Amino acid sequence: MNAVRILANDLTRGSLRIGVCIFIMTLTSGALEAKETRYFVMMPDGAVTAQTVSEIMVGLTDPDPQARSSAALLLRHVETHESQQIIPPLIQLLDDSVEAVRHQAVETLYYVGPDAVLALIEVVKGQGITSGRHDTSVRLQRLAVETLGSLAWRSDHAKKALLDIVQDPNIHTVVRYSAFGGLSRLGTGAPGVAPILIDLVQRTNEDLSLRQAAIMTLEALGPQPETVEALGKLLRDGDVPIRQEAASALARLGPPAKRALPQLQAALNDGDAEVRARAAIALKEIEKENH
């Protein structure tokens, strides 16, 4: 035996047909190197069984949702060279009738990593325009976007997919809105993101909720010069909620947003009382640096 690797210590309720995963070991001995990797799984009764990926995947179509969820959990730990074969059935589970199964599939696709990105993009783009927020296609798209969002920090393809999604009018608004969550987690100064979000938020014919989400995401990405400049300009936007959101974003950015001070001073005379109040707060937060 060359190596025994403990991959997990998960305890969950599951069907006897799939078993409860207490630990999984990948055994790589000279005798097995020429064969399929076998994953050793402890069953609820204490018995240990050895299963290949193909055998575990059978559980993904089990009538028992606990069995489907357990199988998806086990597949988190497959070797990299076997990951491609588990992506299509996991994608199918995103449309499962049971919420817990769907979310287990999302988590496992995250563990699969960037290799799953192309399939997730196809889920989103392949549905086309959907009929409403409760459409099952929208639910499926949102789960795919959620997974892309979790992968964006380590996959440029996932990041680009999210940027494409937020701009695509052929994708339902609530799905586009979901994509902002992943972009906001990219961290300060994520390259190439701010200009696209600034372009979107400046589209006065765009959905108001998307414009607001773009502002919040710009704030999450930090006080980049182009972001502060854009937020300052938005204090003169025709939509009151946009002016309000821009003022609040500048307040939360604090002293690094000082180049927007002239626009905030002008906003103290805005026709909307809430914009005036938020601008005053922003001025106070930005000027803290000088006290």
68-115 pLDDT per residue, tens: 998 998 888 888 888 889 999 999 999 899 989 999 999 999 988 899
Q: Is pLDDT at 170 greater than 80 in this prediction?
A: yes
Q: In the structure encoding, which two tokens stand for residue 152, read together?
A: 């964006």
Helix and strand totals (H; E) in the chain: 14, 4
Band of residue 26 on the pLDDT scale cut at 50, 70, 90: low
Given a cut of 70, whether residue 291 has pLDDT beyond it is: no
Q: Is the confidence at residue 199, as pLDDT, over 90? A: yes
Residue 133 has pLDDT above 70, yes or no: no
Q: For 192-286, CATH number?
A: 1.25.10.10
Question: E strands, the chain, where?
Answer: 3-6, 24-28, 39-42, 48-51
Strand order in the sheet with 48-51: 3-6, 24-28, 39-42, 48-51
Between CA 167 and CA 14 the distance in angstroms is 41
Please state the pTM of the whole predicted model: 0.79
Q: How confident is the model at residue 231 (pLDDT cuts 50, 70, 90)?
A: very high
pLDDT in tens, 233-267: 999 999 999 999 999 999 999 999 999 999 999 99
Q: How far is CA 162 from the centre of its chain?
A: 9
- The predicted structure's pLDDT at residue 124: 87
Amino acid, single-letter form, for residue 60: L
Mean pLDDT score of the chain:
83
Both tokens of 238, joined, read 């025709």
Please state the rounded mean pLDDT for residues 39-58: 74
What's the pLDDT score for residue 271? 96
Burial class, 233, CB count within 10 angstroms (exposed 0-12 / middle 13-18 / buried 19+): middle
273: pLDDT strictly greater than 60: yes
pLDDT for position 45? 61
Report the distance separating Cα 229 and Cα 126, nearest Å.
37
pLDDT for the residue 189 = 67
Q: How many CB atoms lie within 10 A of CB 125?
A: 16
pLDDT band at 12 (very low <50, low <70, confident <90, very high): very low
- 90: enclosing H helix or E strand: helix 83-93
Give mean pLDDT, residues 217-223: 93
Q: What is the reported pLDDT for 123?
A: 87
Q: What average pLDDT does range 29-57 have in this prediction? A: 66
**Biggest alpha carbon distance in the chain?**
79
Q: How far apart are CA 167 and CA 196, in angstroms?
A: 8
Given a contact cutoff of 8 angstroms between Cβ atoms, the answer to whether 194 and 253 are in contact is no
Q: How far is CA 233 from CA 152, 202, 230, in A?
A: 29, 9, 5
Instruction: Specify whether the CB–CB gap between 227 and 208 falls below 8 A.
Output: no
Q: List Cβ neighbours of 196 (8 Å cut-off, separation of 6 or more).
A: 163, 166, 167
Of residues 7 and 103, the one with the higher pLDDT is: 103
Q: Are 73 and 108 in contact (CB under 8 A)?
A: yes
**Rounded Cα–Cα distance for residues 139 and 96 (Å):** 10
